[in-house]
Amino acid sequence: MKILIVEDEQRLATLLKKGFEENSFVVDLCFDGEEGLYMVETFPYDAVILDVMIPKIDGFTLLRTLREKQINVPILMLTAMGEVENRVKGLTSGADDYLPKPFDFTELLARLTAIIRRNKGGATSLLQIADLQLDINSKTVTRGGTQILLSAKEYAILEYMALNKNRVISRTEFSEHVYDMNFDLDSNIIDVYINRLRNKLDKKQTQKLIHTQRGSGYILKETE
């Protein structure tokens, strides 16, 4: 899953980026509301972590602007302004959740994962395709009850396919959702990772789950 963190405390933003990347997220950073507005309007994100007290455009104004533009990406407000009236203001302005500073990273991770899951229509942390199961909380993968060890990027690609099962995903869409904005579109790295996933998930299986749609991309589904 790909997220944007809009936070002007650069040290905190960098620590958050590291923490989320260790949990298989793809993370872009920006440090003011004006850049945040541009980023959200330009790139697809599964969620945004938004500070309130940021330069140029404050978090509340940015939140209202996005909602007025019908941009419904899940937004979690993360701020030192933790008073009840500020939490209410954030939620009534269109935020999906509000977490005051200081905070515990594990709580932030759980809350962000929950609002992404709700936005995608899921009530459970488990994704199931045939005998393949992903737990998006623990980032574990099993097939036929046997755990499969994946790298962080392999997991990120598989999770995105599972969240969009039965739909063809182009290489461009993969790059937008599982890599940051510096990704080289001319790279063949998506094909390399898909091949690795096939070797780990499908090679010894009669039922293949990862399929190529020639000229279009890849699809995760139960049948040919």
Task: Give the integer Cα–Cα distance in Å for 62 and 59.
Answer: 5
Phi, psi of 213 (to 5 degrees): -100, 100
Same domain, 51 and 157: no
Same domain, 81 and 137: no
Query: Containing domain of residue 140, as a range?
Result: 126-220
Give pLDDT tens digits along the chain (224 positions). 899 999 999 999 999 999 999 888 889 999 999 999 999 999 889 999 999 999 999 999 999 999 999 999 999 998 776 566 777 777 778 899 999 888 999 999 999 988 988 887 665 678 899 999 999 878 899 999 999 999 988 998 999 999 888 999 998 888 888 877 667 766 788 999 999 999 999 998 999 999 999 889 999 998 76
**Of the residues 59, 88, 119, which one is the last residue of a structural domain?**
119
List strand residue ranges (DSSP E) for 51-100, in order: 75-79, 97-100
> What pLDDT sits at residue 186?
67
Do 136 and 159 meet the contact criterion of CB atoms below 8 Å apart? Answer: yes
Whether the model clears a pTM of 0.75, i.e. scores above it, the answer is no
Q: State which H helix or E strand residue 138 sits in.
A: none
Nearest Cα to Cα of residue 113 among 154, 161, 163: 163
The CATH number linked to 139 is 1.10.10.10
Same domain, 135 and 109: no
Same domain, 169 and 101: no
Render the burial of 47-70: b for 16+ CB within 10 Å, e for the rest. Answer: bbbbbbebeebebbebbebbeeee
Same domain, 77 and 175: no
Phi, psi of 133 (to 5 degrees): -135, 130
